[in-house]
Structure 1
Amino acid sequence: MIEKISELIRKVVGEGPKFGVTPSEKPEFGHYATNVAFMVKEDPAVLVEKLSVVGRELFSKVSATGKFINFWISQAAFQAELKNILKQKEKYGASKIGGGKKVQLEFISANPTGPLTMANGRGGFLGDALGNLLKKTGHDVEKEYYVNDAGNQVRLLGESILAIAGKVEPAENHYKGEYVKTLTGVLGKEIQQGMNAADLGRLAANVLLASIKQSVKNAGIKFDHWFSEADSLHKKGELKKTLALLESGGLVAEHDGAKWLKSNNAEEEKDRVLVKSDGQPTYFLADLAYHYDKFIKREFDQSVVIWGADHHGYIARLKAGVKALGVEPERLKILIVQLVRLIENGREVKMSKRAGEFITLDDLLMEVGKDAARFFFLMHNPETHMDFDMTLAKEKSQKNPVYYAQYAVVRCVSIFKKAGILRRLLVASKNPNLALLKSDSEINLVQELVKYPDLIAQTAKDYQVSRLARYSLEVARAFNNFYEKERVIVDDKKLMGARLALVKATRVVLENVLGILGVAIPKEM
């Protein structure tokens, strides 16, 4: 609807002015409003008159409040959009606004030195849902897990296992937890044969990576590619090639026995070490080699990376490094997910029954199920701290947000069963008279449903997936209000046909949005 209004505005003011169209916050200001009068010299009253003429088939009323212009959408236009929902079904809301843009989504990418934690789930579900959304809007998407299987942390994992086995002295920085003890048993033969820490760590990392892949599968998260730092970068000499590229551009300085990337970015004032004085490459150089692979070799137009809150300070450094590679920093979009607390019965849960020090993703999935885990994470803005209420997530009632959204779909199906006409591909009514939908609850539900394409388009631009989870609850709320106030199965067949069409449209939209979020639709509840 927003794009339709925008097209009409452009007919009046031309392509030049940059304006916005947003849903109105209060009904007295119509359904939508625009700030276009701020962007042009023309009087708002004149704009209202012109827009009323060009938009006579879409608007029932156009008015100005100061310099804001407000639009009331006609019921005929709402009914026409409702017909689009019924016609397009699972394609409703899909678009080609991405224009085939090649986008890489990199998320989770936890080191294979331990199990995935509950916190990894927050970024994991976000990346998975965002990938679904971008595919729906015409982007060419590849979802990738960067396996950090090279460097000091892998050797440290080997040392941690040797310490548990009594082969080396324990250290404060060693990995701890029940899983390390388990690895010690799994790799007992290699330990007895005297395998060194680095090789033992690589074996352990492979074991843990298999476990991580299983956890990802359990969560319903799908990756197109698992990118190994060791195999795809170190073994192929990509770090040396990247360093040589930077040196050829005069971007590397040598002092204190190390090689440094010169700072040429106002946000990144310090030079950063690429190769340490002992000749070992830094993680920063590996990251630059990886992004060279993304942007130059694989030619992604955009890379969207999801990091935990502890990486926030690294953003400016990596963007400066990407710029040094000759890539526009804007092509790298970094999303930060904040910390999570697990709450049960009003108290913070600090210990995992199995792991000892942290709560694993598998622990959470076993407790609440993957749909609840996914929805609870996705309905919160990732940039805000959140409390995960495990007691609520396990509740099988409409107090539970995911249950509430899912139950609305199940109720739609139930209505068709009661009508005795449920067929998977059967249209509710061949030619429903949608003008019969006149009650406040019917009109409110229609108006909620038609917001869906605008929200999809907006989210494809700003990646705020949480609005879709919240939107599913708004649709469910509007539908339940309609269900409580209006009988669907009535003697008046024309009215019943119109209301069944509205129920069917509700089911379409809810199934579409929950599908993007990756939340399953139960057959019954």
Structure 2
Amino acid sequence: MTDFEKTYQNYNPRQTALDEARALLTAAARAAMADGTLPEAELPAFIVEIPADVKNGDIASNIAMAGARTWRKAPKMIADALIAHLPALDGGVFAKVEVAGPGFINLFLAPSFWAGVVLGACSNKEYGRTDHGKGAKYNVEFVSANPTGPMHMGNARGGALGDCLAAVLDWSGCDVTREFYINDAGNQIQKFGKSLAVRYLQKYCGEEAYPLPAECYQGGDIKVLAGEFAELNGDKYAASCKGMDEETLFESEAFAALKDALVAYALPKNIAALKRDLSKYRIDYDVWFHESTLHESGAVLAVVDKLLELGACYKAEDGAVMYRSAQYAAKYGTVNKKKTDDGTEEEAKDEVLVRANGIPTYFAADIAYHYNKLATRGFAKAIDVWGADHHGHVARMKGAMDAIGLHGEDLDVVLMQMVNLMRDGQPVRMSKRTGNAITLTDLLEEVPIDSARFLFNMHDAGSGIDFDLDQAVKTDNDNPVYYVQYAHARICSILKKMESEGVAFAGAENIDATLLTEPSEMDLIRMLAAFPQEIVMAAEKYDPSRINRFVIDLASAFHRFYGSCRIQGADPAVQQARLALCIGVKNVIFNVLTMFKINVPEKM
């Protein structure tokens, strides 16, 4: 990396300008108080921001209005005093400063600042990456689909959202771990084994002899797995179960042995399928965490003992361990309410962590898992992406972190709304192949992965979305990802055409980007300046979808620029500056798409 390139490493021009504006105004206020122009007082809290309309200034501040009570003067007089105490702006970030209206202070960025944006975006291949997060360790857990069945549409959205969130956190300077939590213990595994065992017995005893109980998994995938197991093992497990009535069967050692054998066979296959399908979706996890390891290591009961020691739990008369859930959850909102026998709802009270039979509940394992993240592995933040139907679990999980001596604020939950799959304007609910809800595999057989990842990340997690299958397969500008990819390919084509005509880019060090003053050029430069801070904001708000919207707007701004500013045949110096601008835009589009694991074609 050259010294020139190092200049623009971790470069965030918008934040640089805002910080410089705050520093200048703070220094001016202190200087004005020092010479008596303003009375001595504690500096007021004030805002520096990018105004909605930049015609009247690139950065605006309300310091004069905010300080009216502090300095007991009219805002206009304060603003004039501050401007009089600003240092000379020659050669700095700002070219001029003005007072507007009742006392707003508007600062105008210098041409050299805007030129620096172009040079930074052009010369820094990773322009947009910053050190804002200072290497803080973040754990992002997402999808974590139940390994007892295939992944569905919610998992498809959660996968894109979680992976893109991890990406913006990484680009904003955090040390990110992507994690999948495998629920391979507890009631759902018992239910899985029972479902498989009944389907296996039906193969040899008939469905009439052993109908599948309503509480079992009804999907066709259970039949397939039981059939595969039967092909490998024949009827050797069926012989010991034949002739038993259902009640006797389900309590028998023979049935328990059959369940264990089926789970041992089917669960690894399902987990392998999860890994395969998610890898196809371009999601690669750093950690696949097995719930079973928490039980095997004694971590679950250790956490329960710690909660007992801290007084957050107590033992009931029947020997169960009860957790004072409502007491700790109240700080974060209400927990799930419980239905009473007459159908009304009552506030949830103390909850069972360990049943009277000594078996921990799922909630106990969940507390142990999050304790492992925050205490054992030392993540600064644990971020979970959950379906919106889990909203009642948020308060009790955050409260449980407080109860065990950690900080509930270090656990953040992104709640994701539902997906409606649409075709020809109508909802699509069933898979033609399986007769069940559409799975991730079904989706990726029909929709390009680029489209799926981009479109699922087009809206913030709190918004329900209609995923339009017709739009997702289009190869024209109606498909947002195609529109963005085309802008990148168009720039590549421009650069190649210029090279074929003998016009090579001279390098960012050798151009004068202050020559870029046309409105469409400035629109592009302003967007380039905003990009690193857009990533920071996406990371802070846990909303990677704002980067999708940003890059669509950037592609639109580029097409407008190309329609109004000639590159071929332009004055050589202007031509070089415009080539630098094109390369800067190309780099940003490339960085967004690769950050979100979307292909970046050079021709289309």
TM-score > 0.5 by shorter chain? yes
1:85 is aligned to 121
How many angstroms apart in 1 are the aligned matches of 2:468 and 2:519? Answer: 34
Residue in structure 1 matched with residue 131 of structure 2 by the alignment: 96
**What is residue 204 of structure 1 aligned with on the other side?**
266
Q: Which residue number in structure 1 is paired with residue 108 of structure 2?
A: 72
- Give, in angstroms, the shift of residue 331 of structure 1: 0.6
Say if 1:198 and 1:48 are closer, same or farther in 2 by CA, change over 3 A.
farther
The DSSP-based 3-state class of the residue aligned with 1:359 is coil
1:68 deviates by: 4.9
Q: Is the contact made by 1:190 and 1:200 (CA closer than 8 Å) also made in structure 2?
A: no
1:19 Cα deviation (Å)?
Answer: 4.3
Please say if residues 151 and 274 of structure 2, whose CA atoms lie closer than 8 Å, have aligned partners that are also in contact: yes
Change (3 A) 1:249 1:79: same
Alignment of 1:52-67 (within 5 A): 53-54=86-87, 56=89, 57-59=92-94, 60-66=96-102
- Give 1:50's match in structure 2, choosing from 79, 82, 100: 82
User: Greater Rg, structure 1 or structure 2?
Assistant: 2
Where does residue 321 of structure 2 map in the other structure?
Answer: 259
1:61 positional shift: 4.0
| CA shift digits 1:166-194 (9 cap, x unpaired) | 16431222212232222122221357332
Q: Secondary structure at the match of 1:420?
A: helix
- 1:169 maps to which residue? 211
Go from structure 1 to structure 2 and tell me whether the alpha carbon gap of 1:163 and 1:54 turns closer, same or farther (over 3 Å shift): farther
Give the one of 388, 410, 435 matched to 1:356. Answer: 435
* Residue among 263, 276, 300 paired with 1:214: 276
Do the aligned residues in 1 keep the contact of 2:115 with 2:512 (CA within 8 Å)?
no
| Preserved CA contact (<8 Å) 2:488 2:602 | no
Paired position in structure 2 for 1:478: 557
Aligned match of 2:525: 446
Deviates more, 1:186-195 or 1:72-81: 186-195
Letter in 2 for 1:218: K
Q: Which amino acid aligns with 1:26?
A: D
In the alignment, structure 1 residue 33 sits paired with structure 2 residue 94 = no
1:333–1:65 distance in 2 versus 1, CA, 3 Å: farther
Picking from 464, 471, 475, the partner of 2:543 is: 464
1:482 deviates by 0.7
Aligned to 1:182: 224
TM-score by length of 1: 0.93
Residue of structure 2 aligned with 1:223, choices 277, 285, 289 = 285
Deviation for aligned residue 1:421 = 5.9
1:284 and 2:367 aligned:
no
Asked whether 1:23 is paired with 2:58, we answer no
Unaligned stretches of 5+ residues in structure 2: 1-13, 28-41, 238-256, 335-347
Residues 79 and 99, structure 2, Cα contact 8 Å, conserved in 1: no
Judge conservation of contact 1:164–1:170 (CA < 8 Å) in 2.
yes
- The answer to whether the 8 A contact 2:489-2:601 is kept is yes
- Preserved CA contact (<8 Å) 1:155 1:199: no
Kindly indicate whether the alpha-carbon contact (under 8 Å) linking 2:168 and 2:536 is maintained by their aligned counterparts in 1: no
> C-alpha separation between the residues in 2 aligned to 1:276 and 1:344?
47
Aligned to 2:303: 242
When residues 496 and 239 of structure 1 are mapped into structure 2, their CA distance, relative to the original with a 3 A threshold, is same
Identity within the alignment, %: 35
1:331 to 396, 399, 410: 410
Distance 1:62 1:453 in 2: 27
Q: Which residue of 2 aligns with 1:13?
A: 26
The CA distance in 2 between the partners of 1:17 and 1:148, in whole Å, is 52
**8 Å contact 1:371–1:402 — kept in the other structure?**
yes
- Give the superposition deviation at 1:201: 2.9
Residue 192 of structure 1 corresponds to which residue in structure 2?
235
* SS at 1:260 equivalent: strand
Q: Deviations for 1:88-107, whole angstroms, at most 9, x for unmatched residues?
A: 222x2222121121111111
Shift of residue 508 of structure 1?
A: 1.1
Q: Which residue of 1 aligns with 2:159?
A: 124
TM normalised by structure 2 equals 0.81
Aligned partners of 2:576, 2:431: CA distance in 1, in Å? 53
Q: For 2:389 and 2:88, locate their aligned partners in 1 and report how far apart those are by CA, in whole Å.
A: 50
Q: Which moved more, 1:244-253 or 1:408-417?
A: 244-253
Q: Shift in Å at residue 381 of structure 1?
A: 0.8
C-alpha change, 1:377 and 1:22, in structure 2 (3 Å) is farther
Q: Which amino acid aligns with 2:286?
A: D
Equivalent of residue 396 in structure 1, options 472, 475, 482? 475
One-letter amino acid matched to 1:279: G
Alignment of 1:382-421 (within 5 A): 382-420=461-499
CA shift, 1:63, in A, is: 3.4
SS of residue matched to 1:146: strand
Bigger mean CA offset, 219-228 vs 489-498 = 489-498
Partner Cα separation in structure 2 for residue 338 and residue 54 of structure 1: 51
Name the CA distance, whole Å, in 2 between partners of 1:464 and 1:135: 13
> Which shifted more, 127-136 or 167-176?
167-176
Pair 340,156 (structure 1): closer, same or farther in 2 beyond 3 Å: same
Whole-Å separation in 2 of the counterparts to 1:475 and 1:497: 21
Residue identity opposite 1:76 in structure 2: S
Displacement of 1:422: 10
Query: Could you say what secondary structure the match of 1:196 adopts?
Result: helix
Q: Per the alignment, in what secondary structure is the counterpart of residue 350 of structure 1?
A: coil
Instruction: Please tell me the residue identity of whatever aligns with 2:174.
Output: H
Distance 1:226 1:284, change over 3 A: same
Equivalent in the alignment of 1:311: 390
**CA separation of 1:521 and 1:502: change in aligned 2, threshold 3 A:** same
The question of whether the paired residues in 2 share the 8 Å contact of 1:260 and 1:274 is answered with yes
Q: Structure 1: give runs of 5+ residues left out of the alignment.
A: none
